[in-house]
């Protein structure tokens, strides 16, 4: 058995930013347009008007101030309301591959490695750009990595579940060096025309290098242990699937073929589930002084509750870093952005926990110790 360690991490951040004010302005223009188009039906009581969104609500309910996206022109156009991405040829790298390679290159540089040193690539994300070939295999090719690669999807928990899979393989010796990469194009599955959720997501890619601690070339975090759990729920759901053509209505732009959630229920049910999961993981390892929590980034109040429960007190500034004010919810990548940006100052011997949670429901925690 070998001791797995995280020796590098990296973040690809798209240049384009949408502030809450910009988002709300375009949403309200869309609402006015829809309401004008349907004025008669609304007046007759056959249809509800589309209500306006508000920046104050978004910030207060979620803590989000802005989001990065691959394309803001389509998202902000009231006649489009989704990203517009160029159709790529089969001989060009996919969009997910391109952003993944950027994040991987940064993670590899931090670890002092080349792509050819890697013998496992896991592309772990909430959505895949195509059914096959696996996006991970294209990333493997473009990195010049060896060995094998595969895709996995556990929605917002994809990164931690991917880290568990990679860490277990490094521990057993079946691979020597792995990279887990999370290219999340959340703008593609967000329903920008739905006021209740149009502010939630942003785009990003993160990557984490996992190898034997004895191979590490610089600073690293030992992966002490990982723990994953799932419990079925329909409160976060997307019905887009490969069987859509076979359904009687034959429609592929139904509301349920984008992200849907019952946010209130998710909040209420997931906070206790995650707090109990993290506490029992820490207890099983006999760790009572965890110094840093890198949590999934969906909602600031949610993280405040979880942080307080897990630490047994209100976390001090920096002990539970949030990045969602700048990135919004980036699905599985959120906790890894927080880890990548806010882990350098941890002292040797100090413990931290990465924890992601979301659709499934799913929760994954990774207990690390600074070497």
Q: Which stretch binds ligand COA (CB under 6 A): 32-40, 101-109, 298-306, 314-322?
A: 298-306
In sequence order, what DSSP letters do the residues of 275-326 get, joined into one string?
HHHHHHHHHHTT-----EEEE--S-HHHHHHHHHHHHTSPPPTTTS---HHH
175 binds ligand COA (CB under 6 A): no
User: 206 to 245, contacts with ligand COA by CB under 6 A?
Assistant: 236
Other CB atoms within a 10 A radius of the CB of residue 171 amount to 18
Q: Which stretch binds ligand COA (CB under 6 A): 38-46, 49-57, 127-135, 212-220?
A: 49-57
Per-residue burial over 306-333, b = 16 or more CB atoms within 10 Å of its CB, e = otherwise: bbebbbeeebeeebbbbbbebbbbbbbb
> Under 8 Å CB-to-CB from 294, ≥6 apart: which residues?
321, 335, 336, 338, 339, 342, 343, 352, 353, 354, 355
Spell out where the chain has E strands.
Answer: 4-12, 16-19, 66-69, 120-124, 148-152, 177-185, 203-212, 221-230, 236-237, 260-261, 292-295, 351-358, 362-370
**Closer residue to ligand COA, CB minimum distance, 198 or 291:** 198
Q: Which stretch binds ligand COA (CB under 6 A): 207-215, 246-254, 258-266, 286-294?
A: 258-266
CA angle 303, 304, 307 (to 5 degrees): 80
Is residue 156 part of the annotated active site? The answer reads yes
- Find tokens 């994300």 and name the residue: 125
Distance in Å, CB of 263 to ligand COA, minimum: 3
CA angle 312, 155, 159 (to 5 degrees): 65
53 binds ligand COA (CB under 6 A): yes
Q: How many residues interact with ligand COA (rule CB under 6 A)?
A: 22
Q: Which stretch binds ligand COA (CB under 6 A): 7-15, 77-85, 260-268, 342-350?
A: 260-268
Structure tokens at 213: 């601690």
260 binds ligand COA (CB under 6 A): no
In sequence order, what DSSP letters do the residues of 37-76 get, joined into one string?
HTHHHHHTTSSPPPPPP-HHHHHHHH---EEEES-HHHHH
Structure tokens at 353: 């926990």
195 binds ligand COA (CB under 6 A): yes
Q: Which stretch binds ligand COA (CB under 6 A): 57-65, 93-101, 225-233, 287-295?
A: 57-65
Q: Which of 297, 299, 335, 356 binds ligand COA (CB under 6 A)?
A: 299
Distance in Å, CB of 335 to ligand COA, minimum: 12
**Closer residue to ligand COA, CB minimum distance, 61 or 80:** 61
59 binds ligand COA (CB under 6 A): no
49 binds ligand COA (CB under 6 A): no
User: 346 to 365, contacts with ligand COA by CB under 6 A?
Assistant: 358-359
153 binds ligand COA (CB under 6 A): no
Q: Which of 104, 156, 228, 355 is catalytic?
A: 156
2 binds ligand COA (CB under 6 A): no
Catalytic residues: 156
Interface residues with ligand COA (CB under 6 A)?
53-54, 57-58, 61-62, 156, 195-196, 199, 236, 261, 263-264, 266-267, 298-299, 302, 329, 358-359
């Amino acid at each position: 058995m070998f001791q797995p360690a995280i020796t590098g991490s990296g973040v690809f951040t798209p240049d384009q930013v949408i502030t809450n004010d910009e988002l709300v302005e375009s949403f309200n223009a869309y609402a006015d347009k829809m309401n004008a188009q349907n004025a008669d039906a609304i007046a007759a009581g056959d249809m509800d008007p589309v209500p306006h969104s508000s920046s104050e609500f978004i910030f207060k309910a979620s803590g989000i101030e802005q989001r990065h996206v691959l394309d803001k022109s389509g998202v902000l156009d009231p006649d489009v309301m989704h990203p517009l991405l160029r159709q790529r040829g089969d001989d060009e790298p996919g969009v997910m591959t391109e952003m993944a390679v950027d994040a991987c290159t940064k993670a590899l540089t931090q670890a002092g490695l080349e792509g050819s040193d890697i013998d496992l690539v896991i592309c772990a994300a909430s959505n895949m750009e195509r059914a096959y070939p696996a996006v991970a295999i294209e990333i493997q090719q473009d990195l010049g990595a060896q060995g094998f690669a595969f895709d996995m999807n556990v929605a917002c928990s994809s990164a931690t579940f991917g880290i568990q899979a990679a860490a277990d393989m490094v521990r057993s010796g079946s691979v020597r060096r792995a990279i887990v990469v999370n290219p999340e194009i959340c703008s593609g599955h967000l329903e920008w025309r739905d006021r209740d959720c149009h502010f939630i997501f942003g785009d990003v890619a993160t990557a984490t290098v996992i190898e034997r601690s004895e191979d590490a070339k610089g600073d690293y975090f030992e992966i002490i242990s990982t723990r994953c759990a799932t419990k079925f729920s329909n409160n976060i759901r997307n019905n887009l699937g490969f069987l859509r053509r076979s359904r009687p209505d034959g429609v592929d732009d139904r509301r349920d073929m984008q992200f849907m959630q019952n946010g209130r229920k998710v909040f209420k049910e997931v906070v206790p589930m995650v707090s109990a999961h993290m506490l029992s993981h820490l207890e099983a390892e006999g760790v009572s002084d965890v110094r840093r929590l890198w949590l999934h980034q969906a909602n600031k109040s949610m993280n405040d509750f979880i942080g307080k429960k897990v630490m047994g007190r209100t976390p001090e500034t920096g002990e539970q870093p949030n990045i969602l004010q700048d990135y919004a919810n980036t699905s599985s990548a959120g906790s890894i952005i927080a880890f990548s940006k806010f882990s350098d100052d941890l002292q040797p011997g100090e413990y931290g926990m990465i924890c992601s949670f979301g659709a499934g429901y799913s929760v994954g925690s990774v207990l690390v110790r600074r070497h």
